[in-house]
Amino acid sequence: MRALGLFALVAALILGTGVLQSWNSALIILNMGLVSAIMSLGVNLQWGLAGLFNVGVMGFVALGGLAVVLTSVAPVPAAWAAGGGRAIAALILGAAVITLAALAWRGLAHRRRGLAVAAILLVGLVAFRWVLDPATAAIESVDPAATGYLGGLGLPVLLAWPVGGLLAAGVAWMIGKTALGLRSDYLAIATLGIAEIIIAVLKNEDWLARGVKNVIGLPRPLPYEIDLQQTPGFAERAAGMGLDVTTASTLYVKVGYSLLFAAVLVAVLVLAQLALKSPWGRMMRAIRDNEEAAEAMGKDVTARHLQVFILGSVLCGIAGAMMTTLDGQLTPSSYQPLRYTFLIWVMVIVGGSGNNLGAVLGGFLIWFLWVQVEPMGQWLMGLLTAGMADDSAIRNHLLDSVQHMRLLTMGVILLLVLRFAPRGLLPEK
């Protein structure tokens, strides 16, 4: 009942945006709200269901973005010819070095293995760079203004969504293998670090996805507005609905994305609900509430943690791929931890950790506020400073700083919820 009321409120807020501002802005909020809800479900799976403290959400979201480039962009044959084979060889060599180090760690006697593994890794790093560096230089010099990277596989962009999940799963497996089992706040620091490293790789490895030069014009699963406008019959149908043809085409594309995203969200939500209610979900909650007792009952705590950590990260990866598809470009410098990690946490905590519907609600509600706090703040500041002279330095500074209000607002919301409704808007049953 409460859930119904709160979801109706969010719907009313988004519809209100449509009526008061424009339907395009309402759909933009709705689409990112759908993506945020999936990310928030992922974090809820890890934190709400299993009590794992992952603050590396940004990294998995960015991996999803990378997946879109690697899957959907057409390959660059000249770059492949210049250094593709060597780059692949370097990556295989890197993987081999790490495997060798892991094997040495398991196989060697206790006393000498530390030095041996360190030596393998150091020599491996030098060899890896020796193979990789000429390849990257060659690839990056292929028409650097337009390409300068290997490109992708040229597959349909929708395939990139599961691929994003797979990439995230791979990295989550590696992190989980090393860092799970650490104390909760150590895991937090470790995931924070991984996210920064993933972003650093995206920014610096130009041969992979052009780094800070960005990849723009990614393929879309939906037609371009301009093509729609020239489709015979589209203009007539738009006129029939009382819309001009430009607005109609933008709305058409955005509604298309909404439907695609909603389908993914519904599927994920249904699976998450089934998982929550299944014996597996009960076991996860038992582990969360009392690890020792669950372990004594014969549950493999570490393996279950690894499993749920990977599942949650996969959702973040899929959502990240969806987001990059929606944006149509990959811009590594736009990944900021406050926006892509900590904001998702606000969504989960405000919505109600442990409750999937709560996570979805938090995703929509917090995203709506994140977008709308700025115009609201602008209006408020305008009101507060109305009495000041137009050229007053204070007034101008206040008006310029309004954009930073959203961070402040999110912090205050998080603190208020933690204090007065620590279980969130929709508490776990």
Residues that bind another protein (CB under 8 A): 51, 53, 114, 125-126, 129, 133, 178-179, 182-186, 188-190, 192-194, 196-197, 200, 203-204, 337-338, 342, 345-346, 349, 400-401, 404-412, 414-415, 418-419, 422
CB of 255 to another protein, least distance (A): 33
Instruction: Specify the residue, 130 or 224, whose C-beta has the smaller distance to another protein.
Output: 130
Instruction: Specify the residue, 133 or 227, whose C-beta has the smaller distance to another protein.
Output: 133
d(CA 122, CA 293): 42
Instruction: Specify the residue, 23 or 53, whose C-beta has the smaller distance to another protein.
Output: 53
Instruction: Specify the residue, 30 or 195, whose C-beta has the smaller distance to another protein.
Output: 195
CB of 355 to another protein, least distance (A): 16
- What separation, in Å, do the N-terminal and C-terminal C-alpha atoms of the chain show? 13
Q: Is 215 helix (H, G, I), strand (E, B) or coil?
A: strand
Residue type, 267: A
Instruction: Specify the residue, 11 or 338, whose C-beta has the smaller distance to another protein.
Output: 338
Neighbouring C-alpha atoms within 13 Å toward the C-beta of 316: 32
Residue 301 near residue 285 (C-beta atoms within 8 A): no
Q: Is 266 exposed, middle or buried (0-12, 13-18, 19+ CB in 10 A)?
A: exposed
**Phi and psi, residue 180, nearest 5°:** -70, 145
CB of 397 to another protein, least distance (A): 9
CB of 197 to another protein, least distance (A): 5
CB of 240 to another protein, least distance (A): 47
CB of 38 to another protein, least distance (A): 21
Instruction: Specify the residue, 97 or 251, whose C-beta has the smaller distance to another protein.
Output: 97
Q: How far apart, in Å, are the Cα atoms of 212 and each of 203, 272, 331, 337, 422?
A: 5, 36, 7, 17, 40
Instruction: Specify the residue, 303 or 415, whose C-beta has the smaller distance to another protein.
Output: 415
Q: Can you list the pairs that 223-229 forms with residues at least 24 positions away whose Cβ atoms lie under 8 Å?
A: 223/253, 224/253, 225/249, 225/250, 225/252, 225/253, 228/252, 228/253
- CA trace torsion 328, 64, 354, 183 (10° rounding): -140
CB of 137 to another protein, least distance (A): 11
Tokens describing residue 403: 């954009």
Instruction: Specify the residue, 43 or 326, whose C-beta has the smaller distance to another protein.
Output: 43
Residue 120 near residue 106 (C-beta atoms within 8 A): no
For 195, residues 6+ apart whose C-beta sits below 8 A from its C-beta are 55, 56, 57, 58, 59, 60, 62, 337, 341
Beta partners for 183? none
CB of 344 to another protein, least distance (A): 11
- Identify the DSSP state of 277: H
Q: How far apart, in Å, are the Cα atoms of 342 and each of 31, 200, 333?
A: 20, 19, 17
CB of 102 to another protein, least distance (A): 12
Helix axes 356-384, 2-20, angle to 10 degrees: 40
Instruction: Specify the residue, 162 or 193, whose C-beta has the smaller distance to another protein.
Output: 193
CB of 153 to another protein, least distance (A): 27
Instruction: Specify the residue, 23 or 345, whose C-beta has the smaller distance to another protein.
Output: 345
